[in-house]
């Protein structure tokens, strides 16, 4: 297990390859951000019957570069009442984690049919990902939580009320959706039996080699169907909330909080947050592709498989990014109580229940007889009904208590 | 479908007609009575219409017009009649293009062209004097280097004369009594209001 690059010890070539991979990953992510900002603005303009950026470069492609140059040359302001150290630290806390997440995602490599996704680089065998830690999936969860610190500390250290409100919302929202995110991810880990991202992708490669005659085996080998779609949907919703993207962008609700946690930031420090937001979006899309959509898996009609795998990975990420933009164009922002309701009353119980069902099915298929299976299913259904009734009863009692306490005004 | 109907709408709009135009390259057509940069008109014989009465300056809510009248030189009169606008300045850093000056003018000397895209870069350029405001010998507005004139912008610069009825009488609405104008001559009166409304 682990990257075969390190199997024969570490020498200068290995170090150079790792450095090169880091630089390439960083470049991909930065260029991706530039294109993503342009893509988002263009698509949302299309959906609103506008034209969108069209002045800088062909089709406005250089608009983000122009904005970046402008931001760099603007005056950097730090409010008097802000905390100097934390105020300066926060943008980096927001921008670094998405990059680290992107580092553990395999962006290419042919899996299945006897191949395990390795490529030859400078005479060495390695994976097309910067790092493949044995706890990759946990690492992703940890990094997406650390990104919250960037938002929280930025709001707190600004010494201003609206950023503070924004960061308080952020912490509550993150805590709420982190649970659903982790539980739906646990379903993937349960099916795969490994935490390494490389293993997750290899596990989805399916038994047969990739060809046009194996359509059904492609799709059924992807985790989105193997885990029964529900974890995928929950993960996507929770990821949108983690990214603070619409309709979950209460953290930076312009109409209520001026700009949210980044109100007091200016110049490139603000640019870092802007960058971080889109880096997170791309990294999270890459994670969704890796965990649920087979990573770089896809048909290889001709030519070198590695290029095709990178193409399929990119295509899947772009589809997800488009979906994020589509959500933004379509859905109005959640109210705060709706946000909490969805997180705590719908997503978390559903994710937890689905995880239990998956675990039960797995156990039942491997170790139980049919009778035991039916017995367990009946028992499960009974418990589910009881729990449903209990939740309903609790809700009724709570409502009744509230009604008693209500004061006429 | 109800829940996902919104997604279908936004996706459908991607292929719908754009309501905006790529502005600096293609401009939306300007309305006939667009309020733009002023011109000082002249009669067909080349005389200036302005008589230096300062009514425009008096009515200006932004106080952006500065006028000083003077007696016409006997041997070389600038305008028909007794007096003419000796100094005429409009500060476009203040002007709000309300057109009240146009309505106040008794001789239809000041009117507005359809030009609103003029990006001057210093205060001196922002203050237009008679040298810039008076129409040229063809009756067309002068075009400054920083002004973005497009074909048609300089035609019928006195397109809109009076919001109120001519001569203050409501019955005569629509019977605009145009005076002779350099480059245009005397124009036919506009059709009456009901006719213009298509009734």
Give B28-49 pLDDT, tens digit per residue. Answer: 888 777 888 899 988 888 889 8
- Band of pLDDT at residue B159, cut at 50, 70 and 90: low
Task: Kindly determine whether residue A47 and residue B7, on different chains, have CB atoms separated by under 8 Å.
Answer: no
Taking only residues 14 to 73 of chain B, the set having a beta carbon closer than 8 angstroms to any beta carbon of chain A reads: 14, 16-22
- Chain A residue numbers with beta carbons less than 8 Å from the beta carbon of B7 are 326, 330
Residue of A nearest to B25 (CA): A55
Percent of chain B scoring above 90 in pLDDT: 22
Contact B167, B177 (CB under 8 A): yes
Instruction: Assess contact for B193 and B52: CB atoms under 8 A.
Output: no
Closest CA to A294 of A363, A213, A366, A191: A191
pLDDT of A214:
63
- Residues 316-375 in A contacting B (C-alpha not used; CB under 8 Å): 326, 329-331
Q: Are A178 and A241 in contact (CB under 8 A)?
A: no
DSSP codes of every residue in A95-142: HHHHHHHHHTS-----EETTEESEEEETTEEEESSS---TTHHHHHHH
Flag whether residue A59 sits within 8 Å of chain B, measured between CB atoms: no
Specify whether the CB–CB gap between A63 and A55 falls below 8 A. yes
First CA to last CA distance, chain A: 67
Q: Which two tokens stand for residue A386?
A: 């009881």
Contacts of residue A48 in chain B, CB cutoff 8 Å?
13
**B98-135 exposure pattern, b = at least 16 Cβ within 10 A, e = fewer:** ebbbbbbbebbbbbbbbbeebebeeeebbbbebebbbb
State phi, psi for A119 to the nearest 5 degrees: -130, 160
Question: pLDDT tens track of chain A, all 409 residues?
Answer: 567 777 777 788 888 888 988 999 999 999 999 999 999 999 999 898 888 888 888 888 898 899 889 999 998 888 888 888 999 888 998 889 999 999 999 887 777 666 777 777 777 777 888 888 888 899 998 888 888 888 888 888 988 888 888 888 888 888 888 889 999 989 888 888 888 888 888 888 765 455 556 666 667 778 888 888 889 999 999 999 888 888 888 777 667 777 778 888 888 888 888 888 899 999 999 999 999 888 887 777 777 778 888 888 899 999 999 999 999 888 888 888 888 888 888 899 889 888 888 888 888 777 778 888 888 888 888 988 998 899 889 989 988 888 887 766 5
Structural tokens at position B130: 């008679």
As for the ipTM of the complex, it is 0.71
Q: Is A43 on the interface with B (CB under 8 A)?
A: yes
* Prior bond of A247 cis (ω within 30°): yes
| Distance between CA atoms of residues A153 and A93, nearest Å | 9
User: Which tokens hold the place of A323?
Assistant: 């979906």
Could you say which DSSP state residue B164 is in?
A: S
Nearest by Cα to A144 from A256, A351, A283, A249? A283
DSSP one-letter string for A2-16:
--GGGTT---HHHHH
Q: What is the pLDDT of residue A335?
A: 84
Using only C-alpha atoms, what is the Rg of chain B? 21
pLDDT digits (tens, 9 = 90+) for B87-109: 999 999 999 998 888 888 888 88
Candidates A24, A57, A64; CA nearest to A275 is A64
Confidence of residue B68 (pLDDT cuts 50, 70, 90): very high
What distance in Å separates the CA atoms of residue A245 and residue A239, rounded to the nearest whole number? 9
Query: By CA distance, what is A55's nearest residue in B?
Result: B22
**pLDDT confidence tier of residue B164, bands split at 50, 70 and 90:** very low
Do residues A372 and A364 lie in contact, with contact meaning Cβ atoms separated by under 8 Å? yes
Smallest Cα distance from B102 to chain A, Å: 36
Q: How far apart are CA A240 and CA A249, in angstroms?
A: 9
Residue B17: name the closest of A48, A107, A225, A256 by CA.
A48
Task: Identify the burial level of A323 via C-beta atoms within 10 angstroms of its C-beta, where 0-12 means exposed, 13-18 middle and 19 or more buried.
Answer: middle
pLDDT at B56: 92
In this complex, is the C-beta atom of B96 within 8 Å of any C-beta atom belonging to chain A? Answer: no
Rounded distance between C-alpha atoms, residue A36 and residue A40, angstroms: 6
Set of chain A residues whose Cβ sits within 8 Å of the Cβ of B13: 46-49
Token pair in block for residue A364: 């039942």
Q: What is the pLDDT of residue A27?
A: 92
DSSP reduced 3-state for A207: coil
pLDDT at B199: 65
Check: CB of residue A134 under 8 Å from CB of residue A196. Answer: yes
Q: How far apart are CA B135 and CA B109, in angstroms?
A: 10
Q: What is the residue whose two structure tokens read 């042919």?
A: A110
DSSP assigned state of A214:
G
Which residue among B7, B19, B22 sits closest to A49, beta carbon to beta carbon? B19
Residues of chain A with Cβ-Cβ distance to B10 below 8 Å are 47, 326, 329-330
CA A241 vs CA A24, A48, A85: distances in Å: 29, 23, 28
Which is nearest to A136 in space by CA: A166, A113, A108, A106? A106
Beta-bridge partner residues of B185: B181
Question: Looking at the partner chain, which of A47, A50, A54 has a beta carbon nearest the beta carbon of B10?
Answer: A47
CB atoms within 10 A of CB A330: 18
Quote the minimal CA–CA distance from A73 to chain B in Å: 22
For residues A371 and A378, the answer to whether their CB atoms sit within 8 Å is no
Residue A212 burial (CB < 10 Å; 0-12/13-18/19+)? exposed
3-class SS of residue B35: coil
Which chain B residues are within 8 Å of A43, Cβ to Cβ?
Answer: 14
Contact A85, A152 (CB under 8 A): no
The residue count of chain B comes to 199
Neighbours of A150 (CB within 10 A): 27
| Other Cβ atoms closer than 10 A to A71 | 18
Residue B163 above 50 pLDDT?
no
> Can you give the pLDDT at residue B126?
92
């Amino acid at each position: 297990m682990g990257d075969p690059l390190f199997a024969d010890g570490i020498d200068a070539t290995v170090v150079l390859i790792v450095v090169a991979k880091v630089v390439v990953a960083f470049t991909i992510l930065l260029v991706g951000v530039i294109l993503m900002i342009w893509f988002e603005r263009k698509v949302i303009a299309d959906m609103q019957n506008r034209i969108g950026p069209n002045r800088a470069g062909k089709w406005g492609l250089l608009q983000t570069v122009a904005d970046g140059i402008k931001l760099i040359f603007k005056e950097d302001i730090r409010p008097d009442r802000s905390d100097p150290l934390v105020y300066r630290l926060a943008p980096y806390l927001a921008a670094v984690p998405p990059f680290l997440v992107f580092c553990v995602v395999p962006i290419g490599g042919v899996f299945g049919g006897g191949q395990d996704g390795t490529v030859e680089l400078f005479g060495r065998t390695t994976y097309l990902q910067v790092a493949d830690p044995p706890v990759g999936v946990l690492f992703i969860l940890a990094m997406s939580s650390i990104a919250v610190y960037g938002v929280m500390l930025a709001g707190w250290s600004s010494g201003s009320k609206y950023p503070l409100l924004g960061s308080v919302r952020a912490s509550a929202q993150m805590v709420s959706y982190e649970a659903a995110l982790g539980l739906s991810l646990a379903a993937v880990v349960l099916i795969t039996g490994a935490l390494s991202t490389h293993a997750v992708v290899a596990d989805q490669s399916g038994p047969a080699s990739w060809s046009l005659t194996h359509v059904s085996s492609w799709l059924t080998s992807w985790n989105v169907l193997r885990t029964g779609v529900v974890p995928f949907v929950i993960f996507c919703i929770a990821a949108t909330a983690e990214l603070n993207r619409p309709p979950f962008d209460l953290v930076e609700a312009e109409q209520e909080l001026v700009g949210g946690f980044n109100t007091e930031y200016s110049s490139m420090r603000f640019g870092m947050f802007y960058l971080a937001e889109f880096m997170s979006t791309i990294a999270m899309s890459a994670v969704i592709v890796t965990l649920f959509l087979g990573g770089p898996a896809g048909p290889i009609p001709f030519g070198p498989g590695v290029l095709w795998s990178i193409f399929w990975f990119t295509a899947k990420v772009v589809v997800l990014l488009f979906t994020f933009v589509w959500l933004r164009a379509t859905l109005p922002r959640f109210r705060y109580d709706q946000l909490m309701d969805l997180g705590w009353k719908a997503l978390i119980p559903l994710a937890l229940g689905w995880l239990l069902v998956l675990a039960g099915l797995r156990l039942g298929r491997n170790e139980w007889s049919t009778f035991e299976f039916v017995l367990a299913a009946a028992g499960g259904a009974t418990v589910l009904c009881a729990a449903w009734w209990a939740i309903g009863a609790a809700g009724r009692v709570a409502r009744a208590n509230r009604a008693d306490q209500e004061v006429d005004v | 479908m109800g829940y996902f109907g919104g997604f279908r709408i936004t996706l459908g709009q991607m292929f719908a007609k754009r309501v905006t135009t790529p502005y600096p390259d293609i401009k939306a057509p300007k309305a006939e009575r667009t309020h733009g940069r002023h011109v000082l008109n002249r009669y067909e014989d080349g005389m200036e219409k302005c008589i230096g009465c300062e009514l425009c300056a008096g009515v200006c809510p932004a106080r952006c017009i500065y006028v000083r009248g003077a007696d016409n030189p006997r041997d070389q009169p600038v305008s028909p009649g007794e007096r003419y606008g000796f100094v005429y300045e409009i500060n476009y850093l203040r002007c709000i293009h309300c057109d009240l000056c146009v309505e106040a003018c008794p001789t239809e000397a000041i009117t507005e062209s359809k030009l609103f895209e003029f990006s001057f870069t210093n205060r001196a350029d922002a203050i237009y004097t008679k040298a810039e405001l008076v129409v040229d010998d063809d009756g067309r507005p002068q075009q400054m280097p920083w002004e973005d004139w497009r074909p048609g912008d300089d035609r019928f610069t006195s397109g809109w004369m009076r919001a109120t009825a001519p001569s203050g009488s409501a019955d005569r609405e629509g019977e605009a009594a145009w005076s002779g104008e350099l480059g245009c001559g005397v124009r036919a009166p506009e059709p009456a209001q009901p006719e213009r409304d298509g009734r």
